[in-house]
Amino acid sequence: MDKAMILKQVSEMWAKVPFNNLLGIYITKFDHQETEVRFKWQDKLVGNHVQNILHGGVTATALDFAGGVVAAANIIENIEELDMDKLSLNLSKLGTIDLRTDFLRPGRGEEFITTARIIRSGSKVAVARMEMHNEKGEHIAFGTGTYMVG
């Protein structure tokens, strides 16, 4: 199996994760250099119904997911042999150690696009920086996450 197929399979698997499915969040770019995840506005994601803005937890979820995806892309990129069992084992170890979310603007928009890039790469720990914008390009949040990758 080649890397493209693996990325496709992992991508489909993640869209089915219950809480991702609930938010309607899915991977739109899955590359070890940059990943992107997207979700659309839904009224059930509101955290402040006076101001009608996203719950901060939704924003944190999107940032954490985007960072995890880019960390996974790096695990896949760096694996020597494309053995699905070994890969599954490595991906099962993937976990967030800590996450910082910086809320910049109220979460308003029709669609929310979150990108992630690795800033520290290692065999055990990876650190990623994330950004969330809406469809107008307004910058809603920044994130920094530290992930266990091995």
Interface ranges with a second copy (CB under 8 A): 16-23, 43-51, 54-58, 60-62, 64-65, 68, 92, 95-104, 106, 119-120, 124-125, 127, 129, 139, 142, 144, 146, 148, 150
Q: How far apart are CA 99 and CA 123, in angstroms?
A: 19
Nearer to a second copy, 73 or 141 (CB): 141
List, in sequence order, every residue forming a beta bridge with 132; answer none if it has no partner.
114, 141
Q: Which helix (DSSP H) or strand (DSSP E) does residue 54 occupy?
A: strand 53-54
Q: How far apart are CA 5 and CA 11, in angstroms?
A: 10
Nearer to a second copy, 19 or 80 (CB): 19
Nearer to a second copy, 60 or 76 (CB): 60
Minimum CB separation of residue 98 from a second copy in Å reads 5
Minimum CB separation of residue 76 from a second copy in Å reads 17
> Tokens 């979310």 appear where?
101
